[in-house]
């Protein structure tokens, strides 16, 4: 076996070490292997969801969130950040309310994501858009009620909803703004005693068992539910959407719209209530199965 010392020791310079020419680009190949490992780490080895909200957000010298009502403190806000890059408006809000900041790497998300009351915020992460989303959530919380049917609650032994119930007749009616985990509460009820209501506390029957059996993995979307007050069918639609939000891990977001207040802004004629509008398409809610198929095709 020859080595460099043999070459230097030879007085006649009769020994020369050469290396065979290798064809290919091993350095590039190694780089590609590193990229593959990196990609695997980014998706956290669990590519169950691939939500990709827009991650570009603006900074501003002045943060205009001070006109938010005090009920903003009742919202449950989580922001999944990338490399601790956080919108200034959320940094400002954190000074007087609780906001959770969590790294994207420890979630199923691939990009920065804002969640308000366990639902994914659909929109640009700019100051203006975030403020709009917070205000709409507050309006929804003060518009709707969370209703407990005490006649059904009295026989419940599980108490999985975690809500203290007093009485055994009538309804316990609470403002939705005080229950940021309302979707989880409705899903946890084994007696179908909890539902959302706009106006009178009444609801049409729905197939809760079928909805909870679904495993929905969708890109985040926002649906508008055009409703009227004191309608058991509209209350059914609101409750169904709260459960769909739960089984989709917040990917299905929804906003209630009073028909009389928004009919002039709707670009097409509403023929039946409740009506669902999502991504420019409308759907007249009849069955749970039909609604889920409609959302999956968007």
What number of residues does the chain have?
Answer: 298
Q: Are the C-beta atoms of 193 and 153 separated by less than 8 Å?
A: yes
Categorize the per-residue pLDDT at 35 as very low, low, confident or very high, splitting at 50, 70 and 90. Answer: very low
The 8-class DSSP code of residue 64 comes to -
**Mean pLDDT to the nearest integer, 115-144:** 95
Position of tokens 């203290």? 164
Q: pLDDT tens digits, residue range 164-189?
A: 887 778 999 999 999 999 999 999 99
pTM, 2 dp: 0.79
Rounded Cα–Cα distance for residues 161 and 40 (Å): 38
The CA distance from 250 to 242, in Å, is: 9
Domains observed in the chain: 4-42 (no CATH), 70-140 (3.40.30), 144-297 (3.40.30.10)
Q: How far is CA 236 from CA 169, 174, 230, 233, 287, in A?
A: 21, 17, 11, 5, 11
The answer, yes or no, to whether residue 87 has pLDDT greater than 50, is yes
Calculate mean pLDDT across residues 283-297: 94
Question: According to the model, what pLDDT value does residue 13 have?
Answer: 62
- pLDDT-based confidence at residue 44 (cuts at 50, 70, 90): very low
Q: Tell whether the model's pLDDT for residue 2 goes beyond 90.
A: no
In the chain, the percentage of residues whose pLDDT exceeds 90 is 56
Alpha-carbon distance of 272 to 270, in angstroms, equals: 6
């Amino acid at each position: 076996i020859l080595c460099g010392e043999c070459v230097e020791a030879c007085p006649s310079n009769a020994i020369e070490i050469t290396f065979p020419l290798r064809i290919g680009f091993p350095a590039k190949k190694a780089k590609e292997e590193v990229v593959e490992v990196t990609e695997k780490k980014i998706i956290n080895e669990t590519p169950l969801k691939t939500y990709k909200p827009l991650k570009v957000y603006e900074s501003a010298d002045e943060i205009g969130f001070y006109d938010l009502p005090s009920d903003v403190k009742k919202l449950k806000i989580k922001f999944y950040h990338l490399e601790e890059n956080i919108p200034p408006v959320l940094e400002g809000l954190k000074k007087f309310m609780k906001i959770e900041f969590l790294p994207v790497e420890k979630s199923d998300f691939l990009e920065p994501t804002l969640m308000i009351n366990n639902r994914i915020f659909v929109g640009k992460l700019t100051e203006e858009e975030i403020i709009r989303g917070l205000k709409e959530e507050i309006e929804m919380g003060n518009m709707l009620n969370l209703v407990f049917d005490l006649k059904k609650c009295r026989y419940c032994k599980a108490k999985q909803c975690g809500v203290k119930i007093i009485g055994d007749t009538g309804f316990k009616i609470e403002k939705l703004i005080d229950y940021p985990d309302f979707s989880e509460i409705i899903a946890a009820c084994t007696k179908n005693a909890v539902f959302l209501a706009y106006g009178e506390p009444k609801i049409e029957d729905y197939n809760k068992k079928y909805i909870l059996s679904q495993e929905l993995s969708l890109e985040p979307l926002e649906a508008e539910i055009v409703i009227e007050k004191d309608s058991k069918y509209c209350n059914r639609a609101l409750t169904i959407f709260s459960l769909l939000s739960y089984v989709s891990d917040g990917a299905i977001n929804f906003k209630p719209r009073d028909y009389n207040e928004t009919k002039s802004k709707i670009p097409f004629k509403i023929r039946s209530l409740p009506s669902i509008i999502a991504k420019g398409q409308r759907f007249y809610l009849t069955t749970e199965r039909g609604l889920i198929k409609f959302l999956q095709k968007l």
